[in-house]
A and B are shown apart, each in its own frame.
Chain A
Amino acid sequence: MSDINLQRRNFLKTAAGAAMVTVAPGMLLFDVAHGNPQSVGKVRWGMLIDTAACVPGCNDCVTACNKENGLSGGTSATDPQWIRKIEIKDISSGREVSLPMMCQHCEHPPCVDVCPTGASFKRMDGIVLVDKHLCIGCRYCMMACPYKARSFVHEPLSDQNPDVPRGKGTVESCTMCVHRIDQGGQPACAEACANKVILFGDLNDPDSEIAKKVRSVVSTQIRADLKLNPGVRYQGL
């Protein structure tokens, strides 16, 4: 064995070590950011919204949401609005559409990425929530959300619904009525809509009504260009 071999071996060892130190943190961050594909849950709760059936001026879904979640229903700039009706008009053709807008429960939610404490999180079933005990009220998630889906609680609260805890100084948004879903129910907005505009269900179950409909009709995700893969889809846009 000559010295040259030993030197070569040492060099290789050092090089391999350096490469690992360089690459490992990146790999780790990539895994954290994108999740382990095998750990993704079987259920993905979602909604399909039929804008053709949504009546302009009808606010039943909004009213039901406010009642269910104990929101005041106020519409000042500081009042929380978990769901709102948006009237949109195609600038070139003049075609008008009315639709409900709420948290889109993205597969890759920017709010979860930016939250410093992990208060914004995504459940295994795809529902994006805010842990009110961890939220420090920095509002970075509100800056990051492309859908303006989040509200900040600007005032002290009273008469809360025990199923839906809220807190002054924290951020909140549509929970897809997770307290109802976990007991086998439907989101309040879907239930309240007389025209059955909002179809709720498991996107991952091929036999579910929503999965069948998503397969058979043209539906789009809002700001699909951002590739966040929202769990809420719109028909007739």
Chain B
Amino acid sequence: MASYSIPQLRSHLFYVLMAVAGAIVLAAMFAVHSMEEQGHIITGMNNQIVWGMPHVFAIFLIIAASGVLNVSSIGSVFNKPAYKVRAPLAGLLSIAMLAGGLTVLMLDLGRPDRIIVAATNFNPTSVFAWNVVLYSGMFAAVTVYLWTLMEQRMYEWSKPAAFVVFIWRFVLTTGTGVIFSFLVARQAYGTAILPPLFIVISFAWGLAVFHVVQAAIYEWNGKLLDEYVQKRMRNLMGVFVIASLYFVATYHLTNIYFARQTEFESFILVEGGIYPQLFWIGYVLLGNVLPLLLIYLPALDRFKRIPVASLFIILGGFCLLYVFIIGGQAFPLDIFPGYSVSSSFADGEIGTYQPSLPEILLGLGGVGVAFLISAIGIRVLDFVPRELPKK
């Protein structure tokens, strides 16, 4: 009897998790309804911090959605069997996170009811408009790729499909980075390093999400992850974390070198209160140093070091985006270089931002959508990696 109780318990737990995620999504819908009724006044966003918490969540999800596909690319494009068996799961996670991220972006609009206008009126010079194409194309490309993987007769097409996805996600993450690169007058943005930086952090964050989900699935099904696969994927994540830290460091170091940027850097890295704290403690220490120790110190093996490292990488990702998006806007525009300025419109002042419950709920709703799509997909379709142990 006892052997039946565990699956039963798991089945119950599954529905409990579904209910929790569903409740979060419902709460997010209520938050959106309130924002629609009362306007963005109920969020912490204002005329200086125009993008807030929803954008932190949305951009994290979109970046991770692109990065998680590394698993597919390494499997199908570069023919590594250990990754190929994981490619369908990576594809599902990508679609789920992309859907979650776009839901948040869309529902944060001042007029979400007009979303169709974004399709009918297309401004070819706008990177936002390009991204509308890139994001919808990504859904299509990944769906076709999943089809070639899961339908035996189409399997021979999986490599070309994977190649299209491989190219597409690079362009997509470039497009996401370029949203900020194209902002000519903002000290935090307007640099060409952002698209490659976004691509590299997408590798780290996407793989971290993959590790968390994979660990949960294996735990759930009482399976043990092969040591060889563990080692390979662990080392790969380590390399990605180091590479992303390198890009972030390069971004800040080049800024520090320019006299016109030093004030901004001292704000973000030293004097800006919450922003330097989140950067150094949240991103550098918890999001990079700690995960690297967990990844590379075998002495820590008795802990579930890979999923734990992954969770910290994800936490660090959110911290970095908060600093980058909100801290970047909080620093005032330099409209009159060489002058100190003051006005009723907070010119020359550090912008204030206090995230409110509705916008946090909206962001969490995006995570909830991604969770629901992944969990239901994994339960009803064949996404669990199956492989023979390898020595």
**Interface on A for B, CB 8 Å cutoff?**
29, 32-33, 62, 75-81, 84-92, 101, 110, 112-119, 134-140, 142-148, 150-156, 167-171, 222-223, 226
Contact A80 B111 (CB under 8 A): no
Render B189-220 as a binary contact track against A, CB cut-off 8 A, 1 for contact. Answer: 10000000000000000000000000000000
Contact A139 B50 (CB under 8 A): yes
Contact A153 B39 (CB under 8 A): yes
Contact A117 B121 (CB under 8 A): yes
The answer for the CA separation of A148 and B48 in the assembled complex, in Å, is 8
Interface residues on B, range: 35 or more
Render B328-357 as a binary contact track against A, CB cut-off 8 A, 1 for contact. Answer: 010001011111111111110001100000
The answer for the CA separation of A178 and B128 in the assembled complex, in Å, is 28
Contact B126 A222 (CB under 8 A): no
Q: What B residues does A32 contact at CB under 8 A?
A: 124-125
Shortest C-beta distance, B330 to chain A (Å), equals: 11
Contact B111 A116 (CB under 8 A): no
Contact A114 B126 (CB under 8 A): yes
> Which of B51, B117, B343 is the one whose CB lies under 8 Å from A101?
B343
Q: Which 4 A-B pairs have the closest CB atoms?
A: A137-B110, A169-B110, A146-B185, A116-B128
Shortest C-beta distance, B120 to chain A (Å), equals: 8
Residues facing A in B35-66 (CB within 8 A) are: 38-41, 45-48, 50-51
Given contacts A84-B345, A86-B347, A222-B335, contact A117 B40 (CB under 8 A): no
Majority-rule SS of A interface residues: loop
Contact B338 A92 (CB under 8 A): yes
Interchain Cβ contacts under 8 Å between A and B, 25 examples: A32-B124, A77-B48, A84-B344, A86-B343, A87-B341, A89-B339, A114-B125, A115-B128, A116-B122, A116-B123, A116-B129, A119-B121, A134-B114, A136-B118, A138-B110, A139-B50, A142-B50, A148-B333, A148-B345, A152-B40, A152-B110, A153-B110, A154-B39, A155-B39, A171-B110
Given contacts A86-B342, A118-B121, A140-B126, contact A146 B335 (CB under 8 A): yes
> Which of A110, A150, A154 is the one whose CB lies under 8 Å from B46?
A154
